[in-house]
Structure 1
Amino acid sequence: MIVRLYSKPRCGLCDEAKAVLERVRARLPFDLVEEDIRADPTLLATYRYDIPVVIVGGRVAFKHHLVEDEVERFLRRELAGTPVADS
């Protein structure tokens, strides 16, 4: 599964989102692809005021502030319904 993070440099929320995704990725198998929205005029026009944006399966899954438990539950469902492990 590919999880795409639309972000840009010097964005505190983007840094936090990436950290959340990395922590979840330590427990779940997925590829994380980070893209700078400034590199694509369409992405910039679409998400300029909404970053960070997390795309899963071609759809927007999360915007702005990510909550680790919510992200993990969502990704587990996307990975064929694997139950969430107790922490």
Structure 2
Amino acid sequence: MTEFYFLTKPQCSLCEQALLLLHSLQLEQPIELQIVDISTDQALLDEYAWHIPVLIRAADDVELRWPFTATEAEEFIINE
């Protein structure tokens, strides 16, 4: 199972929108999605505060930053 990190923080409406989009994807293989609250880690907050939501592929740390479409997200997930 491929692992991804979804960077978010509380009160982030764009993050909620992106997470709904990810849950709506019809993927052939399941993925493991780790939700990471950047507000609990100052280093992550400093780096990503203005860039969330971000989907990161754990295997190679490649990022998909918002805004992204369902098609872009699916291609990012499939093309590991």
TM norm. shorter chain > 0.5: yes
Number of residue pairs the alignment of both structures matches = 77
Q: Which deviates more from structure 2 when the two are superposed, residues 34-43 or residues 53-62? A: 53-62
2:50 corresponds to which residue? 49
* Structure 1 residue 61: Cα displacement: 2.3
Which structure has the larger Rg over C-alpha atoms? 1
Structure 2 gaps of 5+ residues are none
Q: Which amino acid aligns with 1:50?
A: H
| Percent of residue pairs bearing the same amino acid type | 31
2:61 corresponds to which residue? 59
Residues 4 and 55 in structure 2, CA contact (< 8 A), matched pair in contact too: yes
| Pairwise CA RMSD | 1.4
Q: TM-score, normalised on structure 2?
A: 0.84
Runs of 4+ in 1 over 4 A off after TM superposition: none
Structure 1 gaps of 5+ residues are 79-87
* Structure 1 residue 34: Cα displacement: 0.7
Residues 51 and 63 in structure 1, CA contact (< 8 A), matched pair in contact too: yes
